[in-house]
Amino acid sequence: MPKYSFSCGSVGMNCGFEIKNASSEDELLEMLKIHAKSSHGITSIPSELLAKIKQNIKKSGKYSFSCASVGMNCGFEIVNADSEEELLDELMVHAKMSHNLSSIPPDTLNKIKQNIKVM
Ligand SMILES: [Zn+2]
Ligand SMILES: [Zn+2]
């Protein structure tokens, strides 16, 4: 499973607070509520700030995908890419060159995203 990390510095708070490798976004946000209250006097995080926080949460894990998981029998696999973006960029090249897809249709892309394995 991916690990979730956040530092207050990423949203412009210079308190030095960081959470590293929480096992879920929910876990991280629960801890952040405690920190926001005790260190920043924020009793409930405004939705604007929450959105900013979520954008700055770093997910770390290794991303893998095989064409077989979406029913393509080409045998293609990507193992342990560093991010979902990297994996999708690489997959785009494969889709173009091996499956003659100039772009991946949204429903196929959703299917692909559902089948990306994160370790
Ligand atoms: Zn802070
Ligand atoms: Zn393929």
Together in a domain, 7 and 56 = yes
What's the pLDDT score for residue 9?
96
Together in a domain, 50 and 97 = no
Together in a domain, 114 and 69 = yes
Digit-coded pLDDT (tens) for 77-97 = 999 999 899 999 999 999 999
Domain count, the chain: 2
Together in a domain, 19 and 43 = yes
**3-state secondary structure (DSSP) of residue 58:** strand
Question: What spacing in Å lies between the alpha carbon of 79 and ligand 2's midpoint?
Answer: 14
Question: What spacing in Å lies between the alpha carbon of 1 and ligand 2's midpoint?
Answer: 24
Together in a domain, 47 and 25 = yes
**DSSP code of residue 74:** T
Together in a domain, 69 and 52 = no
17, 4, 21: which is closest to 58 by C-alpha? 4
The domain in which residue 110 lies consists of 63-118
Question: What spacing in Å lies between the alpha carbon of 70 and ligand 2's midpoint?
Answer: 9
Digit-coded pLDDT (tens) for 5-42 = 999 999 999 999 999 999 999 999 999 999 999 999 99
Last residue of a domain, one of 38, 60, 82: 60
Question: What spacing in Å lies between the alpha carbon of 2 and ligand 1's midpoint?
Answer: 23
pLDDT at 1 over 80: no
Together in a domain, 54 and 70 = no
CA 2/CA 74 separation, integer angstroms: 27
Together in a domain, 52 and 84 = no
Together in a domain, 47 and 73 = no
Q: Which long-range contacts (CB under 8 A, 24 or more apart) does 44-53 make?
A: 49/11, 52/11, 53/6, 53/11, 53/29
Question: What spacing in Å lies between the alpha carbon of 15 and ligand 2's midpoint?
Answer: 47
Together in a domain, 29 and 76 = no
What's the pLDDT score for residue 2?
84
Please name the residue ranges forming H helices in the chain. 25-40, 47-55, 84-99, 106-114
Together in a domain, 73 and 45 = no
